[in-house]
Structure 1
Amino acid sequence: MIEHWLYPVLTAVAVLAGFIDAIAGGGGLIMVPALLFAGVPPLNTLGTNKLQSMFGTAMAFRNYSAKGLVDWRAHKGTVAAVFVGATAGVLLVQAVPGDALRLLIPVLLLVMAGYTVLSPRMSDEDAHERLTAKNYVPVAGSIGFYDGFFGPGTGSFFATTLVALRGVGLTRATAQTKLFNLTSNVASVVFFAIGGKIWWGLGLCMALGSMSGGWLGSHTAMKYGAKLIRPLLVVLSLALTARVLWSYFSG
């Protein structure tokens, strides 16, 4: 287990991660390396991160829904695909050897940081629909699989594809993303819990921070639109990931 003083520190980090995740997705890019840096084993990091993220996402989803920005009834098939995909991802990642996962996670974090920098800028204007809701289902299922297997950046993936493929404006896409993210988080928590990979005390402490951040972030996004907070996200992610890589190679 980790030192007790790290509980409030990681809870504070969860506030920032929940805030960022509610606005632009990618809170896991901060939370996952922070947990690894604190000494939480890789699989427990993924499972515990899903627990705290589920609460923050649920808070953001509630706020967006209250403003009429989420139509969950129109996306039942997509929700089912995301749940199945996330379940498959969780089951697969638990079969990966610990040493391989300890190196794979920082590599994936670096890839996601690069994606965050290079992904196209998006607007709140609705655009041309390139995929129907039915044809978007396999895309959502694939992202759900990624979320179950790893997770950080999933919100950005959902938002980007909703804007680029479904023609949804960024604020509405961000709101809709919370439904899909919450679905994959629930699936992940269930199967990580079955596998005994969640540190419940730490996860529930961080959940309080994540909910606070999710509340603040969702209200900020609805008031001002989705803001470009990429520099902060990328700098924190790269710094923490570099520290995790250094620890891995230094033994």
Structure 2
Amino acid sequence: MTAKRRKELLGKAGIYVSLSAITLLLIFPFVWMISTSLKDKNEMFSATPTLFPKQITLENYRSMWFDYGFGTYLRNSLTVAVSTTLITLLVATFLAYGISRFRFRGKKVVFNLLILTQMFPLPLLIITIYVVFAQLGLTDSLIGLVLSYCTFAVPFATMMLKSYFDGLPLELEEAAAMDGCGPFATIFRVVLPLSAPSVAAMGLFSFILAWQEFMMSLTLIRSPALRTLPVGITLMVGFRDIMWGPLMAGTVVVTLPVVAMFIYFQKYLITGMTMGAVKG
């Protein structure tokens, strides 16, 4: 084996070892979270910590579900996340297609306003949104919470989809028009099938945004029956005590759906984000 070949093999081995170490470091908190959710109190607070539970118990999940009203929080989060995703995709798709394909007065102004919305962080706008929603009677309601999330998801999704639509061949839409397709039929039969990666990426982005958001939900929602999962989990952290078992079980329930969706849609997410970022 030549010195150059040996050096290449050592370099690749070093890269693989480094990536493996980083991967283990990143997934360790998730493994510990799942492990803790399956332990009883005695093992959880044992002087000798164990990575895997000696005796698996589902008591923490039972307590999370029945003692802390987790079913209500889960239903609210699913309602908010799914609604935000559907509204965002519906509005952003047509708005992005209109900006990409049609010429109208103020087109550049509209697009610049979409960019402007991304310049302000969420904590800076919470008070303003709360004041406006309070005057409109939208506080302490899931509808108001969905609309608040859409104000952040729609502009970003519109810009990304617009960049993706700019890269689609216009000849395909002209051919569809010659075959008798109207504007809506062209969008649903030609544009959307070709834009599936980008649309899936924006859908996943919108869902995760609404699923894991905490500050806006805590500010707008006051009724216990309307709380979402991130806010409900914080109720397990008391002034003098922290319910570590139900807390870890709740965190697993919140985290695993997002991880599963990301793993399933990661191909579409990477493709859609990169194509939407470099075109246009």
TM-score normalised according to structure 2 size: 0.28
Higher relative contact order (CA 8 A, sep 6+): 1
Q: Which one has a bigger Cα radius of gyration?
A: 2
TM-score by length of 1: 0.31
